[in-house]
Structure 1
């Protein structure tokens, strides 16, 4: 069956049912694959879960003697008894599975996240039905799979910290409103769905969510009025004037010093009030301006019912919240923030966040680009298609399809613009992801559009250049800054505590280049070009054999024909080449047949969807679990459960009380170092969680007293470690500090000795450290030195015997020198996690250094000139023969070679 026959059958009733089943099953697998197997990312998901758990298990609020003190009720989420600005919809949904009381790994994650996954699955299926009705089955299937393979969507179905419910509620509202306006039947049901969706929007994002939907619908109504030519310029001018005058009036009242009574009441809160009223006036004004167009007229004649119902919900929630959090008064005047307005407008973002520091449009663009990998090169083309299609289809008899395209375009564009406003009140999540996916689906289902592009190959080439460039740029950013990919899932946190060498691995690079190759093959007809070129190879060889005289004659004849013109060459060169490629793809043979598939629009989409599904599978099975090991305490808790006997307790030591964790709640705290040493020395097995950053300090304290190291049973988390005093059979010690304390000095490959008064001695630094030697990660070359090429990383181990305690955290300088060039290797010992002031006298310590050999370094022998320093002060080296007069020891030599 060829692709054309397949797509025709897809549009039949039977094909549509098959597409519905395939889409439903695939999306269910994508959204449900890791629901129970991936741990909560902490503190982000932990914070959300703990709020929901407290909401599900708390009792009625106790009456307060202070009427101005904040309290809680059914619409007020709390954390440790204090009201917090969380999404009511999210809290209610999570609380259905959060009140279990006991931490059961797997079941807890599944119950808490299932509501999010189900909501996204329902949205995909509703989108399929809507896009199929308004466009085609193929468009619905493609858009659903594109949406489900956006990382921001399938990761958000497994992550409680994102605001993915915002995408679900607003998307349902837009589709329901469009059907309410344009459908010929069941309009009451669509109005009910619109009202329900808008209510959910409010419960999720409160007034900002409602204003966002109303403004976008208002803009769409205005575009329809202008496009259909059913509105007079005078009314647009009147609407603009009314909106402008209203804004001026509010600005004047805001800043006027004459309105004393208004000033006393409003000026302390003018930002909050204007933030509500100005967007509301804007959206209502746009509706009023478009009231004679079909969308505006339909909304005003019947849609007010839905708005009244929504208003009743807003009023009820506001009244209930106000009952628990009364307006604060001082001397008869309002002070501070008005609690109800704050609740309506703000959305709390916890932790030190990039959002609270700088919210810029380029940050949104970058985050949206990361969020839609691997579709980052295709989505902008879909938006451009929508803009072009809505313009070219203005006279299309299928006006409703054109109106739907305009809605999707406005939906995507204004969602981005309005989020800038929303960031003022900490609403940061882009809600228009489904619109981006619909644009891609509708574009790829438009056969006439692609047939036209085939005849205009320059436009096709331009699209290809843009798509490949977008994939290259975003892919490069992800390779350079892999941690930035998860900002949107960790509330744009500043510090993720990931390892410095954390990366996506080779698989993601392979997928990136596979995507680029697919784009090049399709947009530039690479296979057809290769086939035509190979076919012409014998003729080219014969042309070369003609020699200079023959070349001159053929070039002269070609210029003559070009100047005189020829009927056979009347086409433009690009169009002529495009026609040749089309003819080649229609031929028999392996290469033409393969080209006919991969360079066809339908085959191209099939390959893109396959790559997207493979990328999603790699994320789900490799990247997300690896990332979870760093960002979740589940691994710590699971290892404790596997290793501990039934009655063994788990303690926390040196862990701040504010360190929230779903898995490590209500642990008994070890009060001080003396108690920890006592439990460590006990014959009973100790299990405790400690901060990762404090391992060296705690290990030093234990080693000083017992000459033993802590046993680290689990070191996967970026924040906490699971430690013990015993190591059982089958268990592995992950104490990376202990690995740097050497018991066998024979591992030192290159001992470092200098002559001093006829004796061989090791260099000493301030009489505190004795440098024993150096080891490399590769054997010596022919000249006795290890060889490294440009771009490689040399792993160098330096060994020291600790003679006396080192005051302060010394930094290492390594001047890797050859005549005319230096590679700077300054670093803290062992990347900073085992500082010199925690080295114990008598120990032999290894400090591992990863030295990157810079490209274009001068080839040759390099000296490793080594020393310690703090600020401008270097540790003094003895004896004099051990250094160069600047307290630099030549620790070894390496050879650097070009590629």
Structure 2
């Protein structure tokens, strides 16, 4: 009995000690990061092209045992330095090769960044401001999206945050231990191994501008430059020296000249844009905290106009509020220098502005933690405008958030999983809190309300949307299907793919088919074969199969908006998901509104009609304003069409374009473009159109046709048209 009581007492002491540990501010900061970045981390496969590209390089390190020279498909890979590949390779070695083990090191680095933000803010000011800064950072979409991906940006950004956070402690807190200055160079060395040593120009520029503006040149002595530079070289130089010794100019030309200097000053790939390009991306990536920007900027600028605050800045040991002001000014400087630097870089991707977001998020958290008498009630309502501008864009389109950390921004996204309603509700409630902030009895009632809404946004996007979006962005689902249904000896091919996932998921063993002839030679044989292709290739490949065998290709489960798994045979119990079988008909059905009009390319009129409209169907038959209508069109291919024409739809009320519903689109959602139609094909095309609520006309006329640029297909004489090569298909009423 006494022994049992002793064990219970020991367990109770351990639980109390654990509870005390978890209640410490440092532990809370770490737990916040873990709660955001770790759940559902491996719920979907690695995304193309960056995650799969980097993961394959790391996989080669594990397979080849070469931890110095990164390789891709047997070739040298010098796009990025080595640290991220070491992290992934170590995780693969410990936990096996999977999406979770690829992303885990980056999520842990993201948690480290949250802790570093808390650390330097709490030491410059206090733990309460540090926790709010950490919370704002880990609930910023740009940060948590990228921290949950196996890409290089989070490591570089966190190590720059660590370097500048340590500099802030040295610069703003004279009583900071001397060893803190050395952490600047440790983090700088890691950043140089994470993405690029050229990128260290950003923290160097922040430090230089700080010294120029403050005049605190004596700070250079406290930075311990000789020892720090030696420490930086000890961390960063060995790998660079080793790879230069092994590969010489091939490494220097590709890594330094092409992927760093040329990317920055002349452009390699990616988009181009002006100053506003990154303003938009920063706004989307800072939702919903973008509503705190007027508070952050107005509070700092307003306090600079007050004599007591400006005098506090000059004190050797300023007051707590003066210290907070110095921190806020430093964060603004950090953001401004970083943002301007990236606007000057020629090559642009949406996520290139990401390193400018952490200081802005930290600043928002610090300002939100401000006491009542520091402009909180006056400035917060002004945030409704930027919040609604950003919120309106995010709610109206699913591309803005997804494209913060993806590639090829024009690719389709699954709109049905986008949490539009939740984001709209969060935008409205967050804006309402800002508007009513003047009436909150105490700021401590406002902060929890904003925190709950930011947490709701984070959970919705990080735990729900991002993992589900991964099923579209990754090839893992189609590879899982192949591994489940293929029998020994049944090969997997890829068709004209260069999205990286086909290499990673096949362990670099997949065979590439480069043209339609190669596809025909393999897939018309009696042996079963499988092929991965982008969805846009389904139409051409299906046409080749129909020409050769009279049958469609089979599309298997796991296929989605971007990738399809194709086979020439179905196994027992397997379902064919080829959407073209629903749009290519053996014969024309009974059509609710039959109408015939024949068309031809103006450059090929001598050969006669190329296609004919057979009629249309409308659901509902009497659409309502503010609702939707579904239009189904039926066409017949009369002879070969060698161009890809778009369909235009004009539904005109009052007989003019001012009351027009437009429905331009490629046939069959781009899966079956006109150059893939075969003579005799009956093509069924669907399009959904929204009817504006303000349209008041009762009767509407349906016009349609085909166009490329400014050229329309010619409607042949004798068929209903308006004289501008628009088929006059019919009229209908609207409620």
Give the deviation of 1:619 after TM superposition.
0.9
Measure, in 2, the Cα distance between the counterparts of 1:485 and 1:31: 17
* TM score, norm. by length of structure 2: 0.82
1:846 aligns with 2:684: yes
Measure, in 2, the Cα distance between the counterparts of 1:202 and 1:134: 26
User: Structure 1 residues 423-432 or 616-625, which shifts more?
Assistant: 423-432
Q: In structure 2, do the counterparts of structure 1 residues 743 and 461 end up closer, same or farther at CA, with 3 Å as the change threshold? A: farther
Measure, in 2, the Cα distance between the counterparts of 1:657 and 1:504: 27
Give the deviation of 1:59 after TM superposition.
6.2
Give the deviation of 1:610 after TM superposition.
0.9
Q: Select which of 76, 92, 103 maps to 1:113.
A: 103
1:464 aligns with 2:381: yes
Match of 1:434 in 2: 358
Q: In structure 2, do the counterparts of structure 1 residues 895 and 310 end up closer, same or farther at CA, with 3 Å as the change threshold? A: same
Match of 2:87 in 1: 93
Query: Pairwise mapping of residues 537-616 of structure 1 onto structure 2 (< 5 A)?
Result: 596=441, 600-616=442-458
Q: Select which of 643, 651, 657 maps to 1:816.
A: 651
Q: In structure 2, do the counterparts of structure 1 residues 735 and 30 end up closer, same or farther at CA, with 3 Å as the change threshold? A: same
Match of 2:128 in 1: 138
Match of 2:242 in 1: 320
1:36 aligns with 2:30: no
Q: In structure 2, do the counterparts of structure 1 residues 402 and 877 end up closer, same or farther at CA, with 3 Å as the change threshold? A: closer
Instruction: Say which SS state the counterpart of residue 795 (structure 1) adopts.
Output: strand
1:511 aligns with 2:426: yes
Q: Select which of 764, 784, 788 maps to 2:624.
A: 788
Does the 8 Å contact 1:86/1:347 carry over to 2? no
Query: Pairwise mapping of residues 269-668 of structure 1 onto structure 2 (< 5 A)?
Result: 290-292=216-218, 295-299=219-223, 302-311=224-233, 316=238, 319-326=241-248, 342=257, 346=261, 355=270, 357-389=271-303, 392-393=308-309, 394-395=311-312, 396-398=318-320, 400-421=323-344, 428-447=352-371, 450-453=372-375, 460-465=377-382, 467-490=383-406, 493=408, 495-498=410-413, 504-523=419-438, 525=439, 596=441, 600-645=442-487, 648-655=490-497, 661-664=503-506, 665-668=508-511
Give the deviation of 1:136 after TM superposition.
2.7
1:894 aligns with 2:710: no
Give the deviation of 1:116 after TM superposition.
1.0
Match of 2:146 in 1: 156
Give the deviation of 1:615 after TM superposition.
0.9
Q: In structure 2, do the counterparts of structure 1 residues 837 and 123 end up closer, same or farther at CA, with 3 Å as the change threshold? A: closer
Instruction: Say which SS state the counterpart of residue 579 (structure 2) adopts.
Output: coil
Measure, in 1, the Cα distance between the counterparts of 2:386 and 2:41: 31
Instruction: Say which SS state the counterpart of residue 556 (structure 2) adopts.
Output: strand
Measure, in 2, the Cα distance between the counterparts of 1:33 and 1:805: 53
RMSD between superposed Cα atoms in Å: 3.9
Give the deviation of 1:375 after TM superposition.
0.9
Q: Which has the larger radius of gyration?
A: 1
Measure, in 2, the Cα distance between the counterparts of 1:204 and 1:92: 10
Give the deviation of 1:444 after TM superposition.
2.4
Measure, in 1, the Cα distance between the counterparts of 2:220 and 2:303: 22
Q: In structure 2, do the counterparts of structure 1 residues 503 and 818 end up closer, same or farther at CA, with 3 Å as the change threshold? A: same
CA deviation string 1:460-516 (max 9, x = no partner): 445412x1111111122224443233444136x454344799955322222222222
User: Structure 1 residues 644-653 or 363-372, which shifts more?
Assistant: 644-653
Measure, in 1, the Cα distance between the counterparts of 2:720 and 2:346: 60
User: Structure 1 residues 869-878 or 305-314, which shifts more?
Assistant: 869-878
Does the 8 Å contact 2:45/2:476 carry over to 1? yes
Q: In structure 2, do the counterparts of structure 1 residues 868 and 172 end up closer, same or farther at CA, with 3 Å as the change threshold? A: closer
Give the deviation of 1:692 after TM superposition.
1.7
Give the deviation of 1:773 after TM superposition.
2.5
Q: Select which of 60, 67, 74 maps to 2:68.
A: 74
Does the 8 Å contact 1:809/1:835 carry over to 2? yes
Instruction: Say which SS state the counterpart of residue 651 (structure 1) adopts.
Output: strand
CA deviation string 1:416-465 (max 9, x = no partner): 23334555799934424332232222222222xx23547xxxxx445412
CA deviation string 1:792-820 (max 9, x = no partner): 44321112344544454444444434544
Does the 8 Å contact 2:160/2:187 carry over to 1? yes
CA deviation string 1:715-737 (max 9, x = no partner): 75444311123445765433222
Does the 8 Å contact 2:619/2:631 carry over to 1? yes
Measure, in 2, the Cα distance between the counterparts of 1:895 and 1:506: 31
CA deviation string 1:364-401 (max 9, x = no partner): 22221111111111145224434545665342434655
Instruction: Say which SS state the counterpart of residue 729 (structure 2) adopts.
Output: strand
Does the 8 Å contact 2:417/2:468 carry over to 1? no
Measure, in 1, the Cα distance between the counterparts of 2:517 and 2:359: 60
Instruction: Say which SS state the counterpart of residue 774 (structure 1) adopts.
Output: strand
Match of 1:799 in 2: 634
Q: Select which of 680, 685, 703 maps to 2:546.
A: 703
User: Structure 1 residues 188-197 or 726-735, which shifts more?
Assistant: 726-735
Q: In structure 2, do the counterparts of structure 1 residues 30 and 648 end up closer, same or farther at CA, with 3 Å as the change threshold? A: farther
Does the 8 Å contact 2:166/2:184 carry over to 1? yes
Give the deviation of 1:676 after TM superposition.
4.4
Measure, in 2, the Cα distance between the counterparts of 1:339 and 1:801: 52
Measure, in 2, the Cα distance between the counterparts of 1:377 and 1:156: 22
* TM score, norm. by length of structure 1: 0.68
Match of 1:572 in 2: none
Measure, in 2, the Cα distance between the counterparts of 1:815 and 1:468: 38
1:204 aligns with 2:194: yes
Measure, in 2, the Cα distance between the counterparts of 1:385 and 1:311: 41
1:862 aligns with 2:700: yes
CA deviation string 1:348-376 (max 9, x = no partner): 69xx9775x52533222222111111111
CA deviation string 1:507-563 (max 9, x = no partner): 22222222222222224x3xxxxxxxxxxxxxxxxxxxxxxxxxxxxxxxxxxxxxx
Give the deviation of 1:90 after TM superposition.
2.0
Measure, in 1, the Cα distance between the counterparts of 2:26 and 2:466: 28
Q: Select which of 166, 173, 192 maps to 2:163.
A: 173
Match of 2:9 in 1: none
Instruction: Say which SS state the counterpart of residue 416 (structure 1) adopts.
Output: helix
Match of 2:56 in 1: 50
Q: In structure 2, do the counterparts of structure 1 residues 215 and 811 end up closer, same or farther at CA, with 3 Å as the change threshold? A: closer
Query: Pairwise mapping of residues 248-259 of structure 1 onto structure 2 (< 5 A)?
Result: none
Instruction: Say which SS state the counterpart of residue 850 (structure 1) adopts.
Output: strand
Measure, in 1, the Cα distance between the counterparts of 2:50 and 2:594: 49
Measure, in 2, the Cα distance between the counterparts of 1:417 and 1:869: 42
Q: In structure 2, do the counterparts of structure 1 residues 344 and 199 end up closer, same or farther at CA, with 3 Å as the change threshold? A: farther
Measure, in 2, the Cα distance between the counterparts of 1:422 and 1:887: 46
Measure, in 1, the Cα distance between the counterparts of 2:122 and 2:499: 53
Instruction: Say which SS state the counterpart of residue 737 (structure 1) adopts.
Output: helix
Measure, in 2, the Cα distance between the counterparts of 1:669 and 1:881: 47
1:734 aligns with 2:658: no
Does the 8 Å contact 1:85/1:347 carry over to 2? no
Match of 1:542 in 2: none
Give the deviation of 1:789 after TM superposition.
1.3
Instruction: Say which SS state the counterpart of residue 451 (structure 1) adopts.
Output: coil
Q: In structure 2, do the counterparts of structure 1 residues 744 and 608 end up closer, same or farther at CA, with 3 Å as the change threshold? A: farther
Q: Which runs of 5+ in 1 are unaligned?
A: 1-12, 61-72, 226-289, 329-335, 455-459, 526-594, 753-761, 781-785
Give the deviation of 1:306 after TM superposition.
1.3
Measure, in 2, the Cα distance between the counterparts of 1:365 and 1:476: 15
CA deviation string 1:718-770 (max 9, x = no partner): 44311123445765433222221235855633334xxxxxxxxx555555545
